[in-house]
Chain A
Amino acid sequence: MKSLFFRDLKLAIRAGGGFGLGLAFFLILVVLVPFGVGPQSELLSRIAPGILWVGALLACLLSLDRMFALDHEDGSLDLLATSALPMEGACAAKALAHWVTTGLPLTLAAPVLAILLNMPPDGFLWIFISLAVGTPAMSVIGGFGAALTVGIKRGGLLLSLLVLPLYVPTLIFGAEVARRGAEGLQTTTPLLMLAGITLAVSAVLPFVSAMVLKVNLR
């Protein structure tokens, strides 16, 4: 499991699509939104948590389809399936690697981008906390979607269609934490809900993903 995790990290770094691409996409999105909604700083600071969360979500989606598809194409997945490593473990390791290469850099970059959007300084900590707690759920849920669409050629669009509705609760609670934090309100309830979602999906979904992968391999 450890070796699979580190291999995926290495692959993501060397392919240049890992840290770089997702972050660049995130940055571009945050730069583009003011062009769309206008430069009023007051408006931007109000919608900043939402923009950052939606941006993080889309950036996360960007590299999902490669999670299993590449290994499926070159036969690695067959070999993994015949190895002693349980598929559930492989799914968890891959989701973790995906998080480290996308979710983690996005979380670290978000407070910096929050400055661009004129977010009140109180919010920096909360956007960081909410993304740190919420993005693992997005990687795990995304892993389930990637496992579902692994056998489908050009499954990227389908993957988005399947995964985005599943992101709704995570997005709502995550953005709510950030928004309340920025406005100086109580964040306990949404934060607990967000953490609950992350823990629950991390515990359950790798098993479901493994089951789905086995169906796809036969």
Chain B
Amino acid sequence: MASLWEYANPLKFMRLTDRVLPWVSVGAAACLAVGLIWGFFFTPDDFRQGSTVKIIYIHVPAALMAINAWFMMLVASLIWLIRRHHVSALAAKAAAPVGVVMTLIALITGAIWGQPMWGTWWEFDPRLTSFLVLFLFYLGYMALWSAIEDADTAADLTAVLCMVGSVFAVLSRYAVNFWNQGLHQGASLSLDKEENVADVFYQPLLVSIAGFVLLFLALVLLRTRTEIRLRRASALMAREKLQ
């Protein structure tokens, strides 16, 4: 019985992802195409919000992935700290830029959506603010990776930062909720529209969420492969020095 940990071996990981990546990419493209085209052109306009509601097909999946990317980094960091699998550390490193772009997409589409809906691009609403804080966490994480030369040291330090950051991110989420209630009521973003949203909106939304998940997976696999190749290149150079 092959264990999952075998894929912690870079060679096995490369071999597996080499086969899997094309399928994931095609799946991502297909789901995104179906979900977005269906959502944009074949759903009726909302009776209150008009066609602006359709940005939901990008906004919601991106926001979901922004949080899940951080969660994936947390798990990968834990695996690195406990089991010292290098591929895991590199996967965490690879996920960060994807996560930060997802956060940006969520923030920007949110602003574009918010303008016609509540007449403002930006509101210090708990959700929006938490995303901004998450964005800052991503930036710090990536900056720390790039600032440290030794690969293992960088992996250790960023893993610890990811864990401490996660605790503070959750704490910030609660703090921000508290803070905003204290300042003003109302103007709350109700992203969890699923309950009110009729099936016509819900089904394409599910498809595009699946598309974003696959897109995230494809990008992370691709970037992890790149990181592994970079490590391989530096290992080759180091070996050359030995001879």
Give chain A's interface residues, CB within 8 Å of chain B: 144, 148-149, 151-152, 155, 158, 161-162, 164-166, 168-169, 172-173, 176, 179-180, 189-190, 193, 197, 205, 208, 211-212, 215-216, 218
B148 contacts A176, C-beta separation under 8 Å:
no
Give 6 A-B pairs besides A172-B179, A180-B182 with Cβ atoms closer than 8 angstroms. A144-B164, A162-B143, A165-B140, A169-B168, A197-B171, A218-B153
Whole-angstrom distance between the Cβ of A101 and the nearest chain B Cβ: 24
A165 and chain B: residue at smallest CB distance: B136
Whole-angstrom distance between the Cβ of A132 and the nearest chain B Cβ: 19
Whole-angstrom distance between the Cβ of B96 and the nearest chain A Cβ: 14
List chain A residues, Cβ under 8 A from B143. 158, 161-162
Chain B interface size, under 10 / 10 to 19 / 20 to 34 / 35 or more: 20 to 34
What CA separation (Å) do A164 and B143 show in the bound complex?
14
Contact A151/B144 with A164-B136, A169-B172, A176-B179 known, Cβ cut-off 8 Å: no
State which of B147, B161, B175 has its C-beta within 8 Å of the C-beta of A155. Answer: B147
List chain B residues, Cβ under 8 A from A180. 182
Give chain B's interface residues, CB within 8 Å of chain A: 133, 136-137, 139-140, 143-144, 147-148, 153, 156-157, 160-161, 164-165, 168, 171-172, 174-176, 178-179, 182
A211 and chain B: residue at smallest CB distance: B160
Q: List 18 A-B contacts (CB under 8 A).
A: A144-B164, A148-B157, A148-B161, A165-B136, A166-B165, A169-B171, A169-B172, A169-B175, A172-B172, A172-B176, A172-B178, A173-B178, A176-B179, A179-B182, A180-B182, A208-B160, A212-B156, A216-B157
**Interface SS of chain B:** helix
Contact A151/B165 with A161-B143, A190-B178 known, Cβ cut-off 8 Å: no
Whole-angstrom distance between the Cβ of A158 and the nearest chain B Cβ: 5
Contact A161/B153 with A166-B164, A173-B175 known, Cβ cut-off 8 Å: no
Contact A215/B168 with A161-B140, A161-B143, A176-B179 known, Cβ cut-off 8 Å: no
What CA separation (Å) do A192 and B168 show in the bound complex?
17
List chain B residues, Cβ under 8 A from A161. 136, 139-140, 143
List chain B residues, Cβ under 8 A from A172. 172, 175-176, 178-179
List chain A residues, Cβ under 8 A from B156. 212, 215
What CA separation (Å) do A216 and B150 show in the bound complex?
10
What CA separation (Å) do A205 and B182 show in the bound complex?
29
What CA separation (Å) do A158 and B171 show in the bound complex?
22
List chain A residues, Cβ under 8 A from B148. 151-152
What CA separation (Å) do A197 and B171 show in the bound complex?
9
A215 contacts B175, C-beta separation under 8 Å:
no
List chain B residues, Cβ under 8 A from A193. 175, 178
A148 and chain B: residue at smallest CB distance: B157
A194 and chain B: residue at smallest CB distance: B175
Whole-angstrom distance between the Cβ of B221 and the nearest chain A Cβ: 28
B176 contacts A165, C-beta separation under 8 Å:
no
Whole-angstrom distance between the Cβ of B149 and the nearest chain A Cβ: 9
Whole-angstrom distance between the Cβ of A208 and the nearest chain B Cβ: 6
State which of A158, A164, A176, A205 has its C-beta within 8 Å of the C-beta of B144. Answer: A158
Of the listed residues A148, A168, A197, A205, the one surrounded by the most CB atoms of chain B closer than 10 A to its CB is A168
A217 and chain B: residue at smallest CB distance: B153
